[in-house]
Structure 1
Amino acid sequence: MSAKLEALSQKMQDRFGDKIASSKLALGELTVEVAAADYREFMQALRDEPEFSFEELIDLCGVDYSTWGDGAWQGKRFAAVVHLLSIAHNVRLRVRVYADSDEFPAVDSVTALWTSANWFEREAFDLYGIAFVGHEDLRRILTDYGFIGHPFRKDFPISGHVEMRYDPDQGRVIYQPVTIEPRENTPRIVREDTYGDPSHG
């Protein structure tokens, strides 16, 4: 399999050249990174050109790298990671594209190329706030319509911003700011001076 992936990597390097920002073959998987400006055109070539023929998009997810490597990350914060499958060539490929802006992360949508990207892109938008430009129905898919923020971002508070409850006086569910005080759970640690000493049992 690694020989097939090495051949694919070389073929992609020959075809796309500088448009591939990085290429890494590790653990039996090939990962290529492209710039946001080249992403849509690159993905269309992967689908349409016979030497690649990636007919299926099998997964797409968002990633927040802000605390990756214990906070030592220096690059762009948000990325979309796509897993493609070529049935014709029996090979898989991972493509990563970083959003140019950390304040308003956005990359092109690939729903026009693979309809399976529809709900995946909506999920990445909902959970990470990554906007997919050109998506025809980009709205939340997992959180409630009144939800504030994006819960998979590393800086999102564990308790959230808003809580909902049933109000018997109003006879309906209402939303209100979170009333739980943030706290840090520290496990109780028991230390004994004689721990590990065989003479003390």
Structure 2
Amino acid sequence: MKIQTLQERLQAVFGDKLKRVEQDLGELTITVSPADYVAVAQTLRDDAQLRFEQLIDLCGLDYSSYADGRYEGPRYCVVTHLLSLTHNWRLRLKVYAADDDLPVVPSVNEVWNAANWFEREAFDLFGIVFDGHLDLRRLLTDYGFIGHPFRKDFPVTGHVEMRYDAEQKRVIYQPVTIEPREITPRVIREENYGGLSH
């Protein structure tokens, strides 16, 4: 009943700004356009009927290989998990970047300052640019790192490796020397495996 009440309030407050409303496994997810993202976030925080005071998590998603490649839609998505302490509600807010080549969505750091490092992480790992973020730089990878390692098309081995060179007495970067290989696991079956006899 509580989740139904929340859904009704969201639809009454936002109307056609909600591109999609999903209720699954006792959780509610709303999707909005990038143009409405910050205004919706502000209302979610400030509206007395909603009061989502706390941003719990924010992450990026790459849908390029979703549904075994049958997915047709924007490639990059930002998902924000919110909590209302006042009403004891949780909500998932999704926004898709309009351009797959340069994914950009507005920053919600001014709405919830907890978004700061989460947005930096999504930028670093997925290459999603958060327009309006005042300090958008890499957070987890090295300053000279090339690419975004959580993108589905990023090679598992990466592009470069680093090692300490004893002759130069410093850390150097070089192209990856690992050769890709396919490993097929061996299955060994024993009659009395684990002391059990059949």
Match of 1:164 in 2: 162
Segments of structure 2 that go 5 or more residues without pairing to the other structure are 190-197
Q: Per-residue CA shift, 1:126-176, capped at 9, x if unaligned?
A: 111111111111111111111111111111101000100111221100111
Give, in angstroms, the shift of residue 188 of structure 1.
3.8
Task: Verify: 1:42 aligned to 2:29, yes or no.
Answer: no
Give, in angstroms, the shift of residue 189 of structure 1.
5.9
TM alignment of 1:14-29, pairs within 5 A:
14-29=12-27
Partner of residue 138 from structure 1, selected from 133, 136, 139 = 136
One-letter amino acid of the counterpart of residue 59, structure 2: C
Match of 1:195 in 2: none
Instruction: Give the SS at the match of 1:88.
Output: coil
Q: For the aligned residues, what is the CA RMSD?
A: 1.4
Match of 2:82 in 1: 84
| Distance in 1 separating the partners of 2:78 and 2:13 | 22
| Distance in 2 separating the partners of 1:189 and 1:103 | 43
Give, in angstroms, the shift of residue 190 of structure 1.
7.6
Match of 2:31 in 1: 33
| Distance in 2 separating the partners of 1:166 and 1:82 | 40
| Distance in 2 separating the partners of 1:174 and 1:136 | 31
Partner of residue 11 from structure 2, selected from 13, 18, 30 = 13
| Distance in 2 separating the partners of 1:76 and 1:187 | 36
Match of 2:68 in 1: 70
| Distance in 2 separating the partners of 1:68 and 1:76 | 11
Give, in angstroms, the shift of residue 186 of structure 1.
2.6
Aligned length: 190
One-letter amino acid of the counterpart of residue 46, structure 1: L
| Distance in 2 separating the partners of 1:147 and 1:100 | 25
Partner of residue 111 from structure 2, selected from 105, 110, 113 = 113
Partner of residue 92 from structure 2, selected from 88, 91, 94 = 94
| Distance in 1 separating the partners of 2:124 and 2:59 | 11
Answer with 37-46 or 176-185: which moved more: 176-185
Match of 2:49 in 1: 51
One-letter amino acid of the counterpart of residue 131, structure 2: V
Instruction: Give the SS at the match of 1:70.
Output: helix
Instruction: Give the SS at the match of 2:69.
Output: coil
Answer with 10-19 or 117-126: which moved more: 10-19
One-letter amino acid of the counterpart of residue 42, structure 1: V
One-letter amino acid of the counterpart of residue 124, structure 1: A
- The TM-score with structure 2 as length reference comes to 0.92
Segments of structure 1 that go 5 or more residues without pairing to the other structure are 192-200
- The TM-score with structure 1 as length reference comes to 0.90
